[in-house]
Amino acid sequence: MTPIIAPSLLAADFANLQRDIELVNASDADWLHLDIMDGHFVPNISFGVPVCKAVARHARKPLDVHLMISRPELYLETFQQCGANSISVHYEACDHLHRVVEKIKELGCLAGVAVNPHTAVDLLKDIIDQVDLVCLMSVNPGFGGQKFIKNTYHKVQELRKLIESRDSKALIEIDGGVNSQNALPLLNAGADVLVAGSFVFNSEDPLRTISDLKKVPA
């Protein structure tokens, strides 16, 4: 399977945001990943609704919106109206996860659930057949450029087994520290979507970097 590549805008140059969006448009990337942080659920503030709207005006790739925020259910419709094609909420942030997933679907978006590095994938067993995407955090959420957590390989394998056992169609997305060294092992473990931020935007040739990730054989 050819991997889905989703460059993370968190690592883009915000003084030249349109330029970097156009770069992704011209690349082999499949999605554009947007990390929304509130400074409460995670210890950082990234960007919110106005930036998301601005991105949507220029992006020609589907917007993969990752809500690293408390009470995400209050903002689902807002981000859908901003142009989100998929919306992922954190397992740890939702008291009524099933209700939130259903709402995302009602809005016409792909519904994703994100889990922090310490969260066991087995906790998703009662929702896995109802989600379109599971985003495994392979770093502690909140900041870009962190070191990849190697236990992620094991979690991908566990999650793949759970997906298959429940006849789920959910994609496995990896977010954090993805690079040319771990891309192939992640895909071999069962991952479908690779989010790459610093590795793409800090490279000498981002277009080539995206292309190389896209060509990684699984």
The H-assigned helical ranges of 26-82 are 49-58, 76-81
- The yes-or-no answer on residue 64 being catalytic is no
- The catalytic residue among 30, 35, 38, 64 is 35
- The catalytic residue among 20, 38, 132, 175 is 175
What 8-state DSSP symbol labels residue 202? T
Structure tokens at 160: 């793949």
Single out the residue of 110, 27, 100 nearest to residue 70, CA to CA: 100
- The yes-or-no answer on residue 30 being catalytic is no
Q: Residue 85 carries which side chain, given as an amino acid letter?
A: N
| Rounded-to-integer distance, Cα 65 and Cα 193, Å | 14
Structure tokens at 122: 């087995």
Helix (H, G, I), strand (E, B) or coil at 95: coil
Strands (E), 38-192: 63-68, 84-90, 110-115, 133-137, 171-175
Helix (H, G, I), strand (E, B) or coil at 128: helix
The secondary structure of 156-191 as a DSSP string is HHHHHHHHHHTT--PEEEEESS--TTTHHHHHHHT-
Active site residues: 35, 175
